[in-house]
Amino acid sequence: MRLEFVRIEEANDLINQLIEHHPHPIFVTDHLFKINYFNKAFQKLTQREKYEILGKEFCETLACTQRGNLVTDDLKFCKHCQMRELLAGSLSELELIRDFQINNETVTKHFFITSHKVVMRGEKYRLVVIDDRTQAPGLFPGK
């Protein structure tokens, strides 16, 4: 099936609707790793308000407990952060098991994350899709 659009706005509307209603958390970062766009599923995952997400980095938004370990002198991110490697394009996918501070609680998350290069108006962005594979507490009683 091939979709044909009369105006570019129609294609943009369709893409925005697909991303917004996708069940997986999705966000878009710029070349500085700052979040420029996210869907409702990402906001639900982070349990943060819009102003607490936009313009922030992924690990800052989810309050990664490793953030700040082995930091560079001029910035507040880890020197060997796998998430930054993914967002820089060195990796296209990443399995990340890490503790985050979500809603003032330390939570261990198991994410499978994919990243895709997107170019808009000559600027490079990364579209990131998160598959949260964290098992819900109490899912396997007795274990």
Q: Where are the domains of the chain?
A: 8-132
3-53 residue pLDDT tens = 565 666 766 776 777 888 899 999 999 998 999 999 999 999 999 999 999
Q: In CATH terms, is domain 8-132 a member of 3.30.450.20? A: yes
Q: Which of 30, 35, 58 is nearest to 121 (CA)?
A: 30
In this prediction, residue 6 carries a pLDDT of: 64
Task: With beta carbons less than 8 A apart as the criterion, state whether 83 and 58 touch.
Answer: yes
| pLDDT tops 90 at residue 129 | yes
* Beta partners for residue 79, in sequence order: none
CA 105 to chain centre: 19
Predicted TM-score of the model (pTM): 0.81
Amino acid at 44: K
